[in-house]
Chain A
Amino acid sequence: MSGQAANGSGSHWARLNAAFDETYALAPDARAAAAQRLCGDDETLLGELLAMLEAAEASEQAKFLGSSILPTPGQILAGNEDSAPEFIGPYRIEKEIGRGGMGLVYLATHPEINRKVAVKVVKRGMDSDEIVRRFRLERHLLATLDHPNIARLLDGGTTADGRPYFVLEYVDGLPVTQYCDQKRLGVEDRLAIFSQICSAVSYAHRHLVIHRDIKPTNIIVDSTGRPKLLDFGISKLLDPAGPGFSMMDTAVGMRLLTPEYASPEQLQGKTVSTASDIYSLGVLLYELLSGRRPIRLEGRPLDEISRVLSESDPPAPSTAMSRPQTLSGGRQTGEEVSAETLAKHRGERPDRLRRRLRGDLDNIVLMALRKEPDRRYGAVEQFAEDISRHLSGLPVMARPASIGYIAAKFARRHRPQVAAAGAALIAIFAGFGAALWQAKVATDEKNRAEERFTEVRRLSNLLISGWDEGLGEASVSHEARARLADISAGFLDNLTTESEDATLLKDLGEAHIKLGHEYAYQLIDTAKASAHLDRSEAIARRLVAAHPNELSYKDLLVRALLKKDEFFGHTDLNASLANRLERLELRRQIMESDAPTEMTTRGYAQALADAANGYAEIGQTANADVNFRRSVEVFRQRIELLSALPASAERDTKIASSYAFIADHYGRQLNDLSSALAAAENSFRSAESAYRTDPANSGVVITYAMAGFMLGQARQRAEDLPGSQAAFEQVAAASRKMISDNPISFLARKEYDAYLELAELAHMNGETAKALEFVRLSDEARGQWLAGDSHRDRGRSVYGSAIHLTVSGKLLTAMGRLEEGRSRLTRATELLEQISRSEPKNNLRTANRLAGIYLTMADIDAGLGVCGPRQRPFGGVTEQIAYCKPPSGSGPLRTARNARSAELYARAERVFRELEAAEMLTAKELADLAVARERIHGTAGLLASRK
């Protein structure tokens, strides 16, 4: 390395450089002395400088690098990949069949199955990060596509020298234009082939892939006459929000495409959507039908091409034949093809072909070729649908651009958003899209535009209900969820306009609520959640102001307010109370606008309970009690209304949940244990009846588990331990049965919580072995849920684990298993610390928990035992049972324990201070905090006195 390692620092290199320039400019015999002088004490520099001077002379003499070595043409030709390799992976290479700027395609066979395949590999020397990334993207996209008209991905790997490759189905045939000409296919046959191409492109769109380079050479028709779409090399994931897979900026990407088939927006470097593929399909159909391309572009520079495309309209295909132009695909030969030849290739005479194209087909092609993406077909399905309508002799949707467009002003205003949104949604709801686009052909432009608008709204509803039905609790990967949410958000942003269309606005308001919920609960993104909820509230307020008598708008406003309060209420208790009181008023108006129903009574009763809780938070207990009692009354009114209905599982679940509210109000708020127990018994009875009727309905099972759990706790508090045990056993069994084939997190939680409750009961009965067995069962249930939970690394699930460890840890401690209990608690603190680090936005409840556990552990370590049920700060329902262990130990052990507990108390105190600083505590939490503080200080004194 001859001292080069020492050159690391820039200044050293610069000094060497300067010294060399200065000394080398001198006469040869003066150089050494000058070098000595320049370097002074720096021996390293001097050594290098002398070596450089020596090398300078020697290289001069040797004429080192004296003449350049450009590669010979032969070397250039042999180039980056000397010759086809013999094998790539297990595939025997036969010959090169294609090459692009970055990749090579070989025909190859798999030696064992003797099947012909195409192997695509990055050129040697071209494997820059960007190219390899794009290459992998293509492979990734292909892997998600499985369609009879798309060349299938078979395999992939890395060559011996590290270049990625993948293996595709080999399609032996001709580009679609040549195939059709060679077979002299008539217009009908060409349309049939084209429809198959449409089905491939539309399939890709539904999988969020835009091809971006649709042209004849990328569509090969095999010997059976089936076209196959190839080369997704510059395709792109349709994703308005995701930087993850959009492989490069559009401006660069566009230069790799083929201008003749590219849409104006592609050439101008604007946003590319599915509409761009529709344009390319339009060019292709134009050429298939007429033998000409819509606009002659050969030989023009790029800027001129995009100017031409944006200024001139293509002539109708029926008139294009007469235009002199070279044969498609025969550009190199430069031969002019006559209209007669073109017609002959289509088995027609020119005049008959012209007549055949005039009208529908002209209109269809020109519709696809419109310059503005939003004025083309909204989806490939529509394009294909129009062709099939034409073939069946039905009227087509496409019409020449006319005054009709201008008449449709209202819809037009929404159209850019409509088109973009429609495409994204169709892509998301694979399968739904096609069905939805079977729109009736409207009699005039205006109706049609509005109808399309309605369709988009229906799609938006689908998107929204998709969250509930498809995704609500499903184990979808976090990334997929986030992507869907961001796509949906982008779509909503596009749709939100100053529109006065009330029903559209309502849909938008709903959608914002759903997304707010998704961001808050599933994706833990507080800022986005807040933004969506604010928008839904604003929309709802506008609607209520404009239509004061429309109840559904009030309902929307209530729900928007509720979500806001749910997520952000704890940050400002007075604002939260105002929010609750506004909801209460709205719910009252809704209920009193007509005879009360079970729906409106439920809404009002819940609003009353919310208001009561709001009062309780700020310490106005009298107001709280009044509202709780009123809520109980309204729930009873609801139960009456429901009881009048014919019996059904649905009715009984509703009755059960009404009683559950009543039980909760009595038990937790009004401190009336016997009324609470009675209501819990009623609740469970109704839930049981529903469960017997419909045991496979997850909603029913959830209610049953919830009611059973509540009953178990109510009986426990009433000191009916066997009754409590029976209830928990039923909860565990029903939950387990349901989640074995339909994993639902609520039930999983109920199952392992129920086992812990059972363990606790067993412990209270002195049945230690049984208690341990229940803890084991609970661990097992938790483990099974985790194994199937794709969110397991996310905060919500980690949090669940921490709670489970906390509760079971305390239980084990109480059972005298101090080591095991402590290690669970320690693990719980680790998990919670991890959450606070990774999701600081969601810190509050985590910090609460954490402080509580530190306190418990410190108590245990101090030998104080764990405090009783009623004083437990920040405890959850399950934790409010005392586990006390008398102090034990002495001497060094006790000193060590004292030190550790002091440290833990200090840590808890630190977390408390953070909580206070965050100013996000409720009145109740502040009170709990004061209790905890008292304990910390009292204990500190105790510990000090022990020393």
Chain B
Amino acid sequence: MNDGGSGEITQLLIDYHDGKREVLDQILPLVYDELRAIAGMYLANERKGHTLQPTALVHEAYMRLVDQRNVDWRNRAQFYGLAARMMRRILVNHAEAKRADKRGGSEPHTSLEDVTIAFDDTNFDLLDLNEVLDRLAALDKEKAEIVEMKFFGGMTTEEIVEATGRSTATIERGWTFARSWLYKELAGGRTR
């Protein structure tokens, strides 16, 4: 599948940048496979005492997948944005699988730790966040993307500015608003 190599992902990113949104479906599997390969290598090395920051993982995927010569400055940030979406999918799928396992009872000892996120003095479910984030996207796609990039993609404000082409002030305001709104929705849902 990856015989396409770096030229392929580069072209796809360029197309994506040019507005061909349907290309996303072709990019994500490639990104995912690459992330998976890197994660595999990382895990193999971890035993030897190495550690790898998740952002470094994305960066490495980028280096491996993208043909540097063909990429203008914005594509890198866009790639990170795509990776953020991928990360979100991975986490959500992971959480769904855990939840399914719990229901199915095949793994009774599974803890909630890796699917919950510190929130107030209790925990909330990643899947709830995912759902509320989908609702936000329906109301305001740009704000949901900011959350995706920042929270799931580990991107800095500067990187988000680069990826989206919007101003720093817009991204910061959008983030504050989105975070507050998500909090409000989750808290509201919880007290009910």
Q: Do A and B come from one complex?
A: yes
**Per-residue A-contact encoding for B124-145, CB less than 8 Å = 1, 0 else:** 0010000000010001100000
Chain A positions within 8 Å of B94 at CB level:
71, 75, 78-79, 82
**Docked pose: A59 CA to B11 CA in angstroms:** 40
Question: Which chain B residue shows the least CB distance to A83?
Answer: B97
- 7 pairs from A and B in contact (CB 8 Å cutoff): A64-B179, A65-B117, A73-B39, A101-B33, A125-B93, A126-B32, A259-B5
Chain A residue with Cβ nearest B55: A70
Question: Restricting to A43-64, which residues have a CB under 8 Å from any CB of B?
Answer: 51-56, 58-59, 62-64
Contact with B along A571-613 (1 / 0, CB 8 A): 0000000000000000000000000000000000000000000
> Could you tell me the distance in whole angstroms from the C-beta of B68 to the nearest C-beta in chain A?
10
Contact yes or no, B184 A301, CB < 8 A:
no
Interface string of B25-37 (1 = CB under 8 A from A): 1101110110110
Q: Flag if B54 contacts A70 (CB, 8 Å).
A: yes
Q: A80 at the A/B interface (Cβ < 8 Å)? A: yes
Distance of B43 from chain A, by nearest CB (Å): 5
A1-38 interface bits toward B, Cβ cutoff 8 Å, 1 = contact, 0 = none: 11010010000010001001100100000000000000
Instruction: State whether A62 touches B151 (Cβ < 8 A).
Output: no
Interface residues on B, range: 35 or more
With A73-B42, A251-B15 known, 18 other A-B pairs at CB within 8 A are: A21-B173, A21-B177, A51-B184, A52-B177, A55-B180, A56-B176, A56-B183, A63-B118, A64-B182, A69-B117, A69-B126, A70-B58, A75-B91, A100-B1, A101-B30, A258-B3, A302-B8, A303-B11
Q: Does A910 make an interface contact (CB < 8 A)?
A: no
Q: Which residue of A lies closest to B88 (CB)?
A: A71
The reply to whether B39 and A76 form a contact with Cβ atoms under 8 Å apart is yes
Inside 8 A of A51's CB, which chain B residues have their CB?
A: 184
The answer to whether B25 touches A130, judged by C-beta atoms less than 8 angstroms apart, is yes
Residue B19 lies at the interface, judged by CB distance under 8 Å to chain A: no
B151 touches A301 (CB 8 A): no
Using A21-B173, A101-B33 as known contacts, say yes or no to A82 and B40 having CB atoms under 8 A apart: no
Inter-chain contact B152/A125, CB cutoff 8 Å:
no
Q: Which residues of A contact B46 (CB under 8 A)?
A: 73
Closest Cβ of chain A to B52, distance in Å, is: 7
A65 touches B52 (CB 8 A): no
Cβ of B98 to closest chain A Cβ, rounded Å: 8
When each residue 296-311 of chain A gets 1 if its CB lies under 8 Å from chain B and 0 otherwise, what string results?
Answer: 0001111111000000
Interface size class of A (residues with CB under 8 A): 35 or more
B171 CB within 8 Å of chain A = no
Q: Which of A58, A70, A73, A131 meets B183, CB within 8 Å? A: A58
Q: Is the CB of B10 within 8 A of A301?
A: yes
When chains A and B are docked, how far (Å) is the Cα of A779 from the Cα of B34?
Answer: 67
Q: A2-B185, A64-B179, A101-B1 are in contact. Are A131 and B12 (CB under 8 A)?
A: no
B residues 5-24 touching A (CB-CB < 8 Å): 5-8, 10-12, 15, 20, 22-23
B4 within 8 A of A: yes
List the interface of chain B (C-beta within 8 A of A). 1, 3-8, 10-12, 15, 20, 22-23, 25-26, 28-30, 32-33, 35-36, 38-40, 42-43, 46, 52, 54-55, 57-58, 67, 69-70, 87, 89-94, 97, 100-101, 114, 117-120, 126, 135, 139-140, 147, 150-154, 173, 176-177, 179-185, 187-189
Give min CB distance, A243 to chain B, whole Å: 15
Chain B residues whose CB sits within 8 angstroms of the CB of A123 once the complex forms? 29
Number of A-B contacts (CB under 8 A): 188
A435 within 8 A of B: no
- Evaluate contact between A24 and B176: CB separation under 8 angstroms: yes
When the two chains form their complex, are residues B152 and A70 in contact, meaning their CB atoms are under 8 A apart? Answer: yes
CB-based contact A70/B22 at 8 Å:
no
Contact of A131 among B25, B90, B119 (CB under 8 A): B25
Does A391 lie at the interface of the complex (its beta carbon under 8 Å from any beta carbon of B)?
no
| Closest chain A residue, CB of each to CB of B30 | A101
Contact indicator A125/B89 (Cβ below 8 Å): yes
| Contact among B54, B92, B181, B189 with A52 in the assembled complex (CB-CB below 8 Å) | B181
Q: Is A72 an interface residue (CB 8 A)?
A: yes
Pair B7/A301 contact, Cβ less than 8 Å? yes
A70 interface neighbour in B7, B87, B89, Cβ under 8 Å = B87
Q: Which 6 A-B pairs have the closest CB atoms?
A: A101-B29, A302-B7, A70-B54, A301-B7, A73-B39, A55-B184
Kindly state whether residue A102 has any CB partner on chain B within 8 Å: yes
CB-based nearest B residue for A258: B3
B106 CB to nearest A CB, Å = 9
A642: min CB distance to chain B, Å: 66
Q: How far is the CA of A489 from the CA of B30 in the complex (A)?
A: 39
Distance, CA A71 to CA B36, complexed state (A): 11
Q: How far is the CA of A505 from the CA of B11 in the complex (A)?
A: 44
Q: Contact at A259–B93, with CB atoms within 8 Å?
A: no
> Across the two chains, which residue of chain B brings its CB closest to A261?
B3
Within 8 A of B (CB), among A473-488: none
From B22, B90, B118, contact of A80 by CB (8 A): B90
Q: Are A302 and B177 in contact (CB under 8 A)?
A: no
Minimum CB–CB distance from A211 to chain B (whole Å) comes to 16
Inter-chain CA distance A299–B173, complex, in Å, is: 44
Q: Collect the chain B residues with CB atoms within 8 Å of residue A718's CB.
A: none
Interface positions, chain A 74-90, Cβ under 8 Å from B, are 74-82
Q: With the chains together, A100 CA to B179 CA distance in Å?
A: 36
CB within 8 Å for A68 and B150 given contacts A13-B139, A51-B184, A58-B183: yes
Q: State A600–B70 Cα separation when bound (angstroms).
A: 72
| A residues 204-258 touching B (CB-CB < 8 Å) | 248, 251-252, 255-258
Q: A58-B187, A255-B12 are in contact. Are A75 and B90 (CB under 8 A)?
A: yes
Contact of B54 among A17, A72, A82, A102 (CB under 8 A): A72
Q: Are A99 and B4 in contact (CB under 8 A)?
A: no
Cα-based distance from A52 to B118 in the complex (angstroms):
20
CB pair B6–A301 under 8 Å, yes or no, is yes
Among A705-739, those with CB < 8 Å from B are: none
Report Cα–Cα, A722/B67, bound state, in Å: 91
Given the complex, which residues of B lie within 8 Å of A258, measured CB to CB?
3-4
- When the two chains form their complex, are residues B57 and A73 in contact, meaning their CB atoms are under 8 A apart? yes
Give min CB distance, B129 to chain A, whole Å. Answer: 8
**Is the CB of A260 closer than 8 A to any CB of chain B?**
yes
Interface string of A489-513 (1 = CB under 8 A from B): 0000000000000000000000000
Q: Contact partner of B97 among A17, A82, A102, A260, CB < 8 A? A: A82
A65–B176 CA distance with the chains assembled, in angstroms: 11
The residues of B that contact A54 with a CB separation of less than 8 Å are 184
What are the residues of chain A within 8 A of B40 when measuring CB–CB?
Answer: 73, 77
Knowing A71-B90, A73-B52, A75-B114, say if A80 contacts B32 (CB, 8 Å). yes
CA separation between A450 and B7, bound complex, in Å? Answer: 42
Given A52-B180, A55-B180, A252-B23: A77 touches B39 (CB 8 Å cut-off):
yes
A259 to B188, CA, bound (A): 53
Tell me the nearest residue of chain B to A13, going by C-beta: B139
Are B36 and A305 in touch, CB under 8 angstroms?
Answer: no
A256 to B30, CA, bound (A): 10
Chain B nearest Cβ from A718, distance in angstroms: 72
Query: A51, A79, A99, A128: which has the most chain B beta carbons within 10 Å?
Result: A79
CB distance from A888 to the nearest CB of B (A): 66
> How near does chain A come to B154, taking the closest CB pair, in angstroms?
4
A894 within 8 A of B: no
Using CB atoms, name the residue of chain A closest to B121: A62
Q: Are A74 and B29 in contact (CB under 8 A)?
A: no
B4:A255 contact, CB within 8 angstroms:
yes
Q: Counting CB contacts under 8 A, is A124 at the interface?
A: yes
Q: What is the minimal beta-carbon distance from B69 to any residue of chain A, in angstroms?
A: 7
CA A64 to CA B94, docked complex, whole Å: 21
Q: A58-B120, A101-B33, A255-B11 in contact; A71/B184 too (CB < 8 A)?
A: no
